[in-house]
C-alpha cells in the first residue's frame, strides 16, 4: 500500500499503512531499551523529517512488507538521483532498520556531520576515484560491507557509486554488488527506486555539479518568502521492493542490467519545481543536460602506444579486437577493480595518471591519458566561496625599499595595514585573512623552532598550508628548503643532503596519495614531520594564548622578523641536464625580484591570482607565494596543476583576474574550460618554458579579453629575468630585462657583445642573482666580462632596438660538428614549429646528442611519425646548413619530463649513451 511518508511532523496519515506513525512507534520502543541516546536520535529524526516535509511530498510503497519479513541482515540498494536522496532513504529506513551506510571518509570528517555519521554507524571508506586508490583499497571496502552484513547489520550501498550525471542510472562496470554476493549469495536484497528528484538543485540536471550550500541557502530564503509552510513541494516517490527474481547467481553484467532496468523504469524527465510561491511559471519540464565531451586528438597517439594499450587490454579482458570507441565497462566488461589495475599500469608505463577513475570511459580515453593529452571533462563540485573573499579587500602595494626588508618584515608591514583583508584561500582551508595568517604563524613558530637543523624542508603543493609553513619556518629563525617530490628517490636524497635538511614538513594525505601513485620516498620518509600532527599538538591553551596575544599587537613577531636567517629559501635546479643543484636565495635576491615584477603590472583592489605551481618551482614560489604575501595580493590555490577541469571551475568560482603557469598547464585549462568559466581573467603570465603559438591562439579564442604576458627566468635569478609589461606587451617575446638587472648579449666565446638583432648568449648581473650553489664543486656559473662578474644563463636570445628579448634556445645543449657549434634547441624549435599543431599538449619532439665527442650526431626523439628525410627537408628550407641535419629518428611513446613540465634531456641522452654502436638510419 502507498502512503505519503511525510504528511506532517508527528501525525499519522489515516488509513495509510502506518508509515508515519510507525516511525515514532519504532523509536519509542527502542527508546525504552536505550534511554537517552535514543531520545537524541528521536529528536534528530524528527528535525530531519520536519525539514524534508517543508519542501517535499514523499510517497513510499512496499515498506511494511519488508518489515514483516524481518529487520536484520538486509542489503539495501538505492539509486542516487540527487545529493538529498540519501537523507530521504535514511529517514525512511532508520526507524525500523537502523541501517549503516558507506560514506567517503573526507566528506563526513566535518563539524556536526562527523557526530551524525558516528551515531548512524556509517562505514568510513576512502573515495578511491579521488584518492587514486588501489585494488586492495576497493576490496577492503567490500570486506567491511560483508563483515557488517554477517554481524546482522543492515547496509545501504549505492551500486552506482556516485550521483547520476544523466537522467538514467548507468552502473557501468561497477562490481560492488557482485563481490558481496560472491561472499554472501543468500543475503537479503532490497531495492529502493527514488523518482522525482531529477531536476532539483541537488541534482546534476543543470549540467553542473550541485552546490549544496547555495541550494540550501536559496531554499531557506524561498521558504521564508513563502511563509515557511506554503512553499511549493516537490513530489517524490520511493518504491521499496525485495525481488524474488534478482539474478544473484549470475554475472556482473546481468546483475547490473537488472538493477538499471529497475532504477530506470518510468524515470521522470528533468523537472523544475519553483522554490517559492512567488516564482512564476509553475512546474516545468526542462531539456536534459548535454553529455560532456572530452577534448583530445587520437590521431596524435603513436602506433607504438596504441599497440601497448591494445595488448594490455586484451590480456586484461580476453577480448582480441578492440576499437578506440569501445566502452571499458559495457563493451569490454571491465569492472572498477580492473579499471584501477589499468590506472596503475598507465602510471607505471607512461608516468601518466587520469584526472579521476571516472574519466576513463572508452579505450580512446585510455589512449589520451597515455599520450599526455587527457583532460578531465567532468565538472568538479567546489565548496562555497566565503563572502570574505569578495568583500574584505585591500589595495596591493609595494613599499619603497622593499629589498631592504626581510620577507617576514614585508609580510608584517602589509598584514598590519589591513589585518581583516582576505589574503589566501583554497578548498581545504577556506578564505584566510592577513590576521588569520599571522595567528597561524604565531602558533607554529614554537613547534618548528624545536625541529632539528637550521634548514627545514617543505614538501607541500600550492596551498594555504604551504604559504603559512613557509612563513612560519622563517619566523622560527630557520631556512625553508623547497622539496620537489617528482624527481625520483636518487635526486631527492641528493637534494636533501646538499641542503643539510634534517626534517621535512609535509602532509600525510599528500604522502599517502603519492605513494598510491607509485612515488618512492625510501629513507627520506624518516624525515617527514606531518602538519596534521603539529596541528593536533596545538592545545586549546596555546591557541587561546595566541589569540589573546594577537589582540595586544604583533610586537613579538616583529623581533622574529628582523632576526630571520640571511637565506630566504633553498631551491633546486630542475636537473634536466645534470643532477639538481641547491640554489640559496637571500631576502634581498627575492624581494628585489618581487619589486621589479610589481612594476610590470597595474595591480588594482579587485585583482587576485590563481596559484597552481608548486612552491618547489621557483616561478611558483615567487608568483604564488612571495608576491601575494609581500604586496597584499589575494591568491587562491589549487594543488594539482594537471587537474585542468578543477582549475577552470576554480576560476569560475573565485573569479581571479590573474593566472601564472607554464604553457602546458595553461593549455590544459583552456581545453578543459567551457562557457564563460575564464571570463574573469585579464592577465595570464606564461613562464618556465617557451610559449608556443598554439597556446597564444587557444587563450585568445577562449578568453579574448585576456592579455598574455610571456616571461623568462632562471632559478638562480630569483627567478624572473625578463617579462612583458602589461601596458607594452609583445606576443611571442619574453619582454625587456627587469629594471634592477644589467644584461649583455654576447657571442658564444664571451669575447664581445653581438649586434642588435643578432643571436647571442645572455649574461645578467644584479641584486636578484644568487651568489653560488651549495655543496657544489663543478664549473662556476659566473664569468668575467668587461671587468665585471656575470651569471651565465646558457640561453640564447635576440634583442631588438627597444630592448625586447626573444628566446632562441639554450647554449648548454650544443654539439660540435665539423669545427662548428650547432645549437640543438635551434633545430628543435624549427621542427616543432613545423610538425606540432594545436591539438598537441606539451612538446612532441626533442633534439639531443650522445655525450662522447667522437660519437657526436644529432638525434631526433619524437612521438610523431616524422621521417628523417622530411625533417631534414624542413631544416634546409629555413636556410640551415647540412651540419644541422638529423642523423637518426627514434620514435618513443612519450617524451620524459620533469615535475616542472620540462623535457628531461638527461634521460634522453642517457638512453643514447647506454645503447651499443649503431648504424645511422
With cell 657526436, the residue in question is 856
pLDDT for 919: 41
pLDDT for 263: 94
135-173 burial, b at 16+ Cβ within 10 Å, e below that, comes to bebbeebbebbbebbeeebbbbbbbbbebbbbbebbbbb
For the segment 301-318, what is each residue's pLDDT rounded down to a tens digit? 656 568 778 888 998 888
Q: Closest Cα partner for 609 from 642, 571, 640, 647?
A: 647
More confident residue, 516 or 95: 95
pLDDT for 512: 86
Region 431-441: mean pLDDT is 93
Indicate the range of 5-14, 164-173, 481-490, 672-681 predicted with least confidence: 5-14
pLDDT for 131: 45
Q: Closest Cα partner for 670 from 638, 706, 636, 619?
A: 706
pLDDT for 811: 65
pLDDT at 217 over 90: no
Indicate the range of 120-134, 230-244, 324-338, 713-727 predicted with least confidence: 120-134
> SS3 for 458?
strand
Mean pLDDT of the chain: 83
pLDDT for 7: 31
For the segment 858-907, what is each residue's pLDDT rounded down to a tens digit? 889 999 999 888 998 888 777 665 567 787 899 998 898 876 677 888 78
pLDDT for 11: 33
pLDDT at 544 over 90: no
pLDDT for 291: 61
pTM above 0.75, yes or no: no
813-921 sits in which CATH class? alpha beta
> SS3 for 425?
strand
pLDDT for 284: 84
Confidence grade of residue 30 (pLDDT, cut at 50, 70, 90): very low
Q: What is the fold, at CATH topology level, of the domain defined by 298-370?
A: 1.10.1200
Q: Closest Cα partner for 787 from 825, 742, 831, 826?
A: 742
Q: Is the dihedral angle over the CA atoms 87, 92, 96, 100 positive or is it negative?
A: negative
Indicate the range of 107-111, 312-316, 506-510, 637-641 predicted with least confidence: 107-111
Residue 341 contacts by C-beta under 8 Å, 6 or more apart in sequence?
A: 135, 316
- Sequence ranges of the chain with CATH classification 3.40.50.12780: 388-736
Distance, CA of 118 to CA of 122 (rounded, Å): 6
Indicate the range of 22-26, 151-155, 578-582, 604-608 predicted with least confidence: 22-26
- Sequence ranges of the chain with CATH classification 1.10.1200.10: 298-370
Residue 255 contacts by C-beta under 8 Å, 6 or more apart in sequence?
A: 177, 178, 181, 247, 248
Peptide bond into 860 cis (omega under 30): no
Confidence grade of residue 17 (pLDDT, cut at 50, 70, 90): very low
Region 30-52: mean pLDDT is 68
As given in the structure block, the three cell numbers for residue 364 are 580512446
Burial class (CB in 10 A: 0-12, 13-18, 19+), 906: middle
Confidence grade of residue 235 (pLDDT, cut at 50, 70, 90): very high
pLDDT at 31 over 50: no
Indicate the range of 22-26, 84-88, 94-98 predicted with least confidence: 22-26
- Sequence ranges of the chain with CATH classification 3.30.300.30: 813-921
pLDDT for 38: 65
pLDDT for 413: 92
Architecture of domain 388-736: 3-Layer(aba) Sandwich (3.40)
For the segment 97-139, what is each residue's pLDDT rounded down to a tens digit? 989 887 666 555 555 556 666 666 777 665 554 544 555 666 7
pLDDT for 268: 92
Region 789-811: mean pLDDT is 90
For the segment 340-395, what is each residue's pLDDT rounded down to a tens digit? 778 877 765 555 566 556 667 788 888 877 765 556 555 567 888 999 999 988 89
With cell 547555495, the residue in question is 214
For 242, how many CA atoms within 13 A lie in the half-sphere containing its CB? 17
pLDDT at 25 over 50: no
pLDDT for 486: 76
pLDDT for 107: 55
pLDDT for 681: 96
- Alpha helix locations (H) across 318-391? 336-350, 363-370, 388-391
pLDDT at 37 over 60: no
Residue 850 contacts by C-beta under 8 Å, 6 or more apart in sequence?
A: 856, 857, 859, 909, 912, 913
16-40 burial, b at 16+ Cβ within 10 Å, e below that, comes to bbbbbbbbbebbeebeeeeeeebee
Region 741-760: mean pLDDT is 94
Residue 128 contacts by C-beta under 8 Å, 6 or more apart in sequence?
A: 134, 137, 138, 141, 336, 340, 357
pLDDT at 526 over 50: yes
Region 609-630: mean pLDDT is 94
pLDDT at 850 over 80: no
Beta strands, E only, 2-95:
2-4, 56-61, 74-78
Let me know: does 869 contact 877? Beta carbons within 8 Å.
no
| CA-based end-to-end distance of the chain | 80
pLDDT for 663: 85
pLDDT for 1: 37
For the segment 676-686, what is each residue's pLDDT rounded down to a tens digit? 889 999 999 99
pLDDT for 19: 39
> CA 537 from chain center: how many Å?
28
Amino acid at each position: 500500500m502507498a502512503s505519503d511518508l511525510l504528511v506532517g511532523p508527528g501525525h499519522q496519515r489515516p488509513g495509510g499503512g502506518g508509515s508515519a506513525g510507525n516511525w515514532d512507534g519504532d523509536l519509542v520502543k527502542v527508546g525504552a531499551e536505550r534511554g537517552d541516546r535514543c531520545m537524541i536520535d528521536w529528536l534528530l529524526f524528527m528535525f530531519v523529517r520536519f525539514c524534508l516535509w517543508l519542501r517535499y511530498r514523499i510517497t513510499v510503497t512496499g515498506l511494511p512488507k519488508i518489515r514483516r519479513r524481518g529487520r536484520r541482515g538486509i542489503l539495501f540498494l538505492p539509486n542516487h538521483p540527487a545529493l538529498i536522496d540519501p537523507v530521504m532513504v535514511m529517514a525512511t529506513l532508520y526507524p525500523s532498520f537502523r541501517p549503516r551506510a558507506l560514506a567517503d571518509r573526507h566528506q563526513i570528517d566535518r563539524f556536526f556531520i562527523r557526530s551524525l555519521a558516528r551515531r548512524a554507524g556509517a562505514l568510513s571508506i576512502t573515495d578511491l576515484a579521488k584518492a587514486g586508490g588501489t585494488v586492495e583499497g576497493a576490496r577492503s571496502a567490500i570486506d567491511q560491507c560483508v563483515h557488517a552484513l554477517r554481524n546482522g547489520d543492515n547496509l545501504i550501498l549505492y551500486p552506482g557509486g556516485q550521483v547520476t550525471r544523466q537522467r538514467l542510472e548507468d552502473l557501468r562496470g561497477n562490481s560492488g554488488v557482485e563481490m558481496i554476493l560472491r561472499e554472501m549469495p543468500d543475503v537479503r536484497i532490497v531495492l529502493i527506486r527514488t523518482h522525482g528528484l531529477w531536476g532539483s538543485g541537488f541534482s546534476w540536471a543543470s549540467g553542473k555539479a550541485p552546490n549544496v550550500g547555495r541550494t540550501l541557502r536559496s531554499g531557506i530564503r524561498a521558504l521564508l518568502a513563502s511563509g515557511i509552510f506554503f512553499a511549493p513541494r516537490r513530489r517524490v516517490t520511493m518504491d521499496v521492493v525485495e525481488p524474488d527474481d534478482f539474478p544473484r547467481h549470475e554475472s556482473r553484467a546481468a546483475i547490473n542490467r537488472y538493477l538499471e532496468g529497475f532504477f530506470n523504469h518510468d524515470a521522470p524527465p528533468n523537472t523544475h519545481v519553483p522554490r517559492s510561491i512567488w516564482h512564476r511559471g509553475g512546474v516545468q519540464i526542462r531539456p536534459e543536460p548535454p553529455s560532456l565531451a572530452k577534448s583530445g586528438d587520437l590521431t596524435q597517439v603513436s602506433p607504438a602506444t596504441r599497440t601497448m594499450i591494445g595488448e594490455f587490454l586484451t590480456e586484461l579482458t580476453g577480448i582480441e579486437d578492440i576499437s578506440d570507441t569501445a566502452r571499458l565497462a559495457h563493451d569490454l566488461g571491465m569492472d572498477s577493480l580492473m579499471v584501477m589495475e589499468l590506472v596503475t599500469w598507465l602510471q607505471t608505463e607512461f608516468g601518466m595518471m587520469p584526472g579521476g577513475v571516472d574519466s576513463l570511459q572508452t579505450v580512446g580515453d585510455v589512449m589520451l591519458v597515455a599520450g599526455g593529452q587527457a583532460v578531465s571533462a567532468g565538472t568538479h563540485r567546489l565548496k562555497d566561496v566565503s563572502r570574505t573573499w569578495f568583500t574584505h579587500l585591500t589595495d596591493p602595494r609595494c613599499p619603497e625599499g622593499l629589498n631592504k626588508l626581510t620577507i617576514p618584515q614585508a609580510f608584517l608591514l602589509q598584514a598590519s595595514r589591513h589585518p581583516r583583508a582576505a589574503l589566501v584561500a583554497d578548498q581545504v582551508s577556506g578564505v584566510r585573512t592577513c590576521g588569520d595568517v599571522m595567528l597561524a604563524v604565531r602558533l607554529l613558530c614554537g613547534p618548528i623552532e624545536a625541529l632539528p637543523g637550521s634548514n627545514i624542508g617543505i614538501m607541500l603543493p600550492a596551498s594555504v598550508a604551504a604559504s603559512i609553513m613557509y612563513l612560519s619556518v622563517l619566523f622560527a629563525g630557520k631556512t625553508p628548503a623547497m622539496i620537489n617530490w617528482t624527481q625520483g628517490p636518487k635526486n631527492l636524497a641528493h637534494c636533501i643532503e646538499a641542503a643539510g635538511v634534517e626534517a621535512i614538513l609535509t602532509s600525510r594525505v599528500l604522502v599517502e596519495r603519492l605513494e598510491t601513485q607509485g612515488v618512492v620516498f625510501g629513507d627520506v620518509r624518516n624525515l617527514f614531520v606531518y602538519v596534521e600532527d603539529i596541528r593536533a599538538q596545538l592545545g586549546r591553551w596555546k591557541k587561546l594564548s595566541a589569540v589573546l596575544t594577537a589582540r595586544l599587537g604583533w610586537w613579538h613577531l616583529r623581533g622574529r622578523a628582523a632576526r630571520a636567517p640571511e637565506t630566504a629559501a633553498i631551491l633546486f635546479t630542475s636537473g634536466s641536464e645534470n643532477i639538481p643543484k641547491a640554489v640559496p636565495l637571500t631576502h634581498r635576491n627575492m624581494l628585489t625580484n618581487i619589486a621589479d615584477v610589481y612594476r610590470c603590472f597595474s595591480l588594482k583592489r579587485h585583482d587576485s591570482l590563481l596559484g597552481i605551481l608548486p612552491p618547489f618551482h621557483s616561478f611558483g614560489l615567487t608568483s604564488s607565494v612571495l608576491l601575494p604575501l609581500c604586496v597584499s595580493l589575494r591568491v587562491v590555490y589549487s594543488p594539482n596543476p594537471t587537474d585542468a577541469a578543477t582549475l577552470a571551475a576554480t576560476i569560475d568560482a573565485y573569479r581571479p583576474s590573474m593566472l601564472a603557469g607554464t604553457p602546458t598547464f595553461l593549455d590544459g585549462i583552456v581545453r578543459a574550460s567551457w562557457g564563460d568559466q575564464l571570463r574573469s581573467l585579464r592577465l595570464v603570465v606564461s613562464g618556465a618554458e617557451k610559449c608556443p603559438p598554439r597556446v597564444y591562439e587557444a587563450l585568445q579564442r577562449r578568453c579574448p579579453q585576456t592579455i598574455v604576458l610571456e616571461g623568462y627566468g632562471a632559478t638562480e635569478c630569483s627567478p624572473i629575468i625578463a617579462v612583458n609589461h602589461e601596458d607594452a606587451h609583445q606576443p611571442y617575446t619574453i619582454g625587456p630585462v627587469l629594471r634592477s638587472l644589467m644584461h649583455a648579449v654576447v657571442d658564444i666565446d664571451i669575447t664581445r657583445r653581438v649586434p642588435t638583432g643578432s643571436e647571442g648568449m645572455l649574461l645578467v648581473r644584479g641584486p636578484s642573482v644568487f651568489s653560488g650553489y651549495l655543496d657544489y664543486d663543478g664549473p662556476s656559473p659566473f664569468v668575467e666580462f668587461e671587468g665585471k662578474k656575470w651569471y651565465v644563463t646558457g640561453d640564447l636570445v635576440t634583442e631588438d632596438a627597444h630592448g625586447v628579448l626573444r628566446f632562441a634556445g639554450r647554449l648548454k645543449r650544443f654539439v660540435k660538428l665539423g669545427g662548428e657549434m650547432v645549437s640543438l634547441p635551434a633545430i628543435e624549435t624549427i621542427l616543432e614549429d613545423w610538425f606540432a599543431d594545436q591539438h598537441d599538449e606539451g612538446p612532441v619532439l626533442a633534439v639531443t646528442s650522445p655525450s662522447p665527442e667522437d660519437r657526436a650526431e644529432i638525434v631526433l626523439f619524437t612521438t610523431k611519425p616524422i621521417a628523417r628525410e622530411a625533417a631534414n627537408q624542413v631544416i634546409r628550407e629555413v636556410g640551415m646548413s647540412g651540419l644541422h641535419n638529423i642523423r637518426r629518428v627514434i620514435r618513443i611513446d612519450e617524451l620524459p619530463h620533469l615535475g616542472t613540465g620540462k623535457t628531461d634531456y638527461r634521460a634522453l641522452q642517457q638512453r643514447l649513451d647506454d645503447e651499443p654502436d649503431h648504424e645511422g638510419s
